Copies of this chain bind each other. A is one copy, B any other.
Amino acid sequence: MNPRFLAPAIDPGAAPAPSLDAGSAPSHLQLRRVAIDTYRENVAYLHRDCDLYRVEGFQALAKVEVSVNGQRILATLNVTSDPRIVQRHELGLSQDAFEQLGVPAGRAVAVRQAEPAPSISALHRKINGERLGREDFQAIIRDIAEHRYSKIELSAFVVATNRGELDREEVFFLTEAMIASGRRVDWQERLVVDKHCIGGIPGNRTSMLVVPIVAAHGLVCPKTSSRAITSPAGTADTMEVLADVELPFERLGDIVRAHRACLAWGGTAHLSPADDILISVERPLSLDSPGQMVASILSKKVAAGSNHLVLDIPIGPTAKVRSMPEAQRLRRLFEYVAHRLGLSLDVVITDGRQPVGNGVGPVLEARDVMMVLENHPLAPQDLRQKSLRLAGRLLECDPDIRGGDGYAIARDILDSGRALEKMRAIIEAQGARPFDHQRPKVGALSFEVRAPSSGVVTQIDNLCIARLAQLAGAPKVQGAGVDLARKLGEPVTQGDLLYRVHAAYRSDLEFARQASEQHCGYTVGRPEDVPHVFVEF
């Protein structure tokens, strides 16, 4: 429906025009890298008085296709009159776009107006509330993975498939399409296991314990994680305190074959790439609907080659899921889609009333994890217990382990030091951080928050503690975060330390201090005010 705007600048009175290919009007410009980070949106820059194209009918939101030697990418067009950005004979590409195209600057590239994404009519049907079929989702997700959707169209898709807009078979179609959009790994193993938590609980770094435990037992567990999306630390951010996590995918394969496991960032693996693009829109909108969550998590796991997954759904007053009926609805949706995908899934509903462990932020969480692995007497027991229970459930997918025996086996592996040994092997294999002054430390600046009255801790607000850690600089400032001194149900006397906030920069500390003065995140009251949740663990 958009008017064409990009056509060769041929004056009718001038020399005869070159003949045109059927349906296209390519010509050549010189490629230039424009050092602007436009964040997952490819942008092409053209000079307003471009030698080859007239851009007067310019529609800035339209897409162009840039091609060279059969390689092609799609980009949004921005027009500039500054020759320092691009000259009249050049076509500029933003950083990511330049790297996607993958040819050196100076090469001759062809530009043409991109055809509208073929799936736009399916998007319109979804916006109008219709149910979509398998082919529709395949077409939409293929277009998204090929960067054919603008941010506006991505946002429209995310909102049109939000809460209640997808039935469970549509969620399966979406998941399946997302798997097909990228690489699908085959480990050539009968059992490939993984664990995942739907998120929302600060400090909850059980993966860094479960993975070495089950790998020490011999199960294959190729764990690739995201960085923090809305939280103060993701598993990849915390693991990065100890080891390199940005590894070429081929090296991950070698590490997994040698050690049965890895703990790396998933960004290099091209697993469910459409999911990464959708997340770039879901995050600023703070949208995280059940259907999108299920498709995102299960597509990544199946693409990574897992066939057995333990999934942790925490519930609590400030968790993502706040009631048991909601958790059960979500469990059924996960189970339905996993079954259709042939993925064996074990859902565990857990206690999400407060952060897990003491530290919140990459360095503090890495400290907690290492204390548990080292069987340190002051290691946080809640993190230890939850990790052992999740590892136990995962071990029970081994047909040689009897139902109910997993926990004890996991505990033996941890207590014996075999988990620590496995973790050290993984750290070495990925590339250990040097143990010197360059190793990230807890932020040097800090302030303390103390109990305003005496009683017991009746609430610790997950959202508030996460926000304080973020204000203090986490996850980008690795040593920033919150270190909890009291947990739910513990008695406190007025003036007792509740938690300490660490930062590396004065301004960050002040932002966190101001926020904590408004909402400290703790409530002190009577023992009977501690909320109960009825969960497995």
Contact = CB atoms under 8 A, between A and B. Distances in A.
A56 interface: yes
A67 B127 CA distance: 38
A514 interface: yes
A11 B159 CA distance: 42
Interface string A1-45: 111110110111000010010110100000000111111100001
Contacts of A56: 476
Given A159-B127, A476-B3, A12 B505 contact: yes
A505 B10 contact: yes
A38 B82 CA distance: 13
Interface string A246-289: 00000000000000000000000000000000001101111100
A107 interface: no
A81 B98 CA distance: 15
A20 B508 CA distance: 11
B84 A476 contact: no
Contacts of A37: 48, 58, 60, 78-80
A471 B3 CA distance: 7
Interface centre among A48, A61, A155 (most CB of B within 10 A): A155
A162 interface: yes
Contacts of A511: 4, 7, 25
Number of copies: 2
Contacts of A169: none
Contacts of A159: 127, 155-156, 159-160
B128 A8 contact: no
Contacts of A36: 45, 78-80, 82, 85
Contacts of A156: 155-156, 158-159, 285, 287
A226 B7 CA distance: 25
Interface residues of A, number: 83
Contact of A152 (B54, B129, B151): B151
A5 B39 contact: no
A185 interface: no
Interface in A455-480: 470-471, 473-477
A408 interface: no
A10 B155 contact: no
A78 B504 CA distance: 25
Interface of A: 1-5, 7-8, 10-12, 17, 20, 22-23, 25, 34-40, 45, 48, 54, 56-58, 60-62, 78-82, 84-85, 120, 124, 127-129, 150-156, 158-160, 162-164, 228, 230, 232, 280-281, 283-287, 444-445, 470-471, 473-477, 504-508, 510-511, 514
**Which 9 residue pairs spanning A and B have beta carbons closest together?**
A39-B60, A57-B476, A155-B155, A35-B82, A84-B84, A17-B506, A3-B470, A159-B159, A152-B155
11 contacts: A2-B283, A3-B470, A7-B473, A10-B506, A25-B507, A36-B78, A37-B60, A37-B79, A39-B61, A61-B283, A151-B151
